[in-house]
Structure 1
Amino acid sequence: MECADPAGTVGAFLCRAGQHLRAAAIPQPRMEARMLLAHALNTDEAALLREPRQPVAPEAARDFAAMLERRLQGTPMAYLLGSAGFWTLDLETSPDTLIPRADTETLVEAALELPLDREAPLRILDLGTGTGALLLALLSELPRAFGIGVDLVEGAARLAGRNAARNGLAERAAFVTGSWDDALSGQFDLIVSNPPYIETDAIDGLMPEVSRHEPRTALDGGADGLVAYRLLAERLRDRLAPGGHAVLEIGSDQEVSVSGLFRGHGYEVLGCRRDLGGNPRALVLR
């Protein structure tokens, strides 16, 4: 199909990019084309729709072509755009971290339903913090809380620190590089974690955007997907303050196995909140 707008204009770039994305079976090709071109032009999508015959400068055209090629090869949009929304936050993203997802917001909802004193100086720990999404979302809702995020990857811990500053939360958050709680002492009122929980042999069967581009260490939960939960079941007791709670993300088929594992270590399973798709997602423990 021919593009109606003159060559070299916003409309022509959007038309041809949409055709390429559609041919690659990428959902919502026109929307993705607008997002990429708006990013290349440092403008918003509304401006593109208002002025479809605006010429695209050569430098922006080159940037757009490079991003489009990477998208056609499966690079996630969040990595191309360099940011993603989570809760009420805008978070920087990079291949050092998983991309924040709406399903993980279920953990924030579950934590905020706990009998927490929102005006108290709560202590929060986020293990495997990635972008810092969970910790920062909670700090944004708990005005006197302070939190520590830990990640095995130094680049992820640095990125989470930038996200704290980006969202005005740097004074109440600290991020460190380490393996789980190895570098920590003390106890916390609330512990959250989105640990790796995909079975090793199942990773290559995930969507290519995930399996080929997101960090494998943040996905791989071992042969049965439960390696991280076994470690957390052994360690969280020493990190939880009296009356403290933990909220853990689980896979959609792991409620029974993870609940049983923690009960076997003496924890009380208070429930499991479901995500928007109706799948078990946030396991609540004390």
Structure 2
Amino acid sequence: MYGYRYFLFGDYQKGFTLSGFVVSFCVLALISHWRAARGDPGVVKREDVEGLSDAELNRRVERKSTGAYRYCKHCEMPKPDRSHYSPDVQQLVYRYEFYSAFVKNAVGHMNFKYFFLFRFYSLCLHLTVYIITLVEMPRDDDVPFLEDVSIFGLQFYLVSMLIVLVIQFGLQLGLATKNITRPEFYRVVGKLPGRLPREGQSQKTDDREATNQFMNKEASSMNDGTRKSVTELNMFSSPYDHGMLNNTKEVLGASITTWLLPTAPRLMAAGAAPMMGGSIPLSRPKQFEI
């Protein structure tokens, strides 16, 4: 709006500058949205789990533990750790985050970067427009009443959207730098089935003993001595946490220069984990958790 007014009154330099910022963020947000909507979220295909032992293939009990292959009753095949079934797309997705109505697609390991950038550029776009209206409005002493009201309404909308976007983007950024997915975060805070009992709650003795036995068995094979106990784990602690830089590379790509570009990331897995079926890099835990 202000860019148009500067063009109208002959201040082309400022008009091009303001319009350039807004249009650039808008275009980048649209490209990121399109790639998040049309891209593969990281679907685990049947050939990705081929080659597993018969013991693993015949496992029918879903285990909520790192290092074990669980069985997906919906897809009728084993599912790698950190993969979840999305009922909205009816597929098994590696590092599944959530289903987004904005992009009408599941958000997983392979399209996480695009959705992350969609939120980032949307935040930049709203912040830029808000700053422009906030800085430029006091200079217009003869603004008509209706235009003044429309600017106030625009600022109210921008502030509301900025609050929502800052909260959403902040949570997504915080979890990504800690290498925690949304289902893992919710499970720790008690939002999903399979959570640990809160203080004052009880758990079946058999379940607790079986869980502890499985924990000790799997943890003894990792040989790094960094295993945390159940009580030491919290909502911002992950066994896949290999430092902020490596965690960010795992979702935004190995090349730092392309992190903020909606280009296909060269994904890597923190901890130099093997590839699953040659298509999806798997995270390797450095410590054990339930």
TM-score of the aligned structures, taking structure 1 as reference length = 0.27
Decide which structure has greater helix share: 2
TM-score of the aligned structures, taking structure 2 as reference length = 0.26
Q: Quick check: which has more Rg, 1 or 2?
A: 2
Q: Higher relative contact order at CA 8 Å, sep ≥6: structure 1 or structure 2?
A: 2
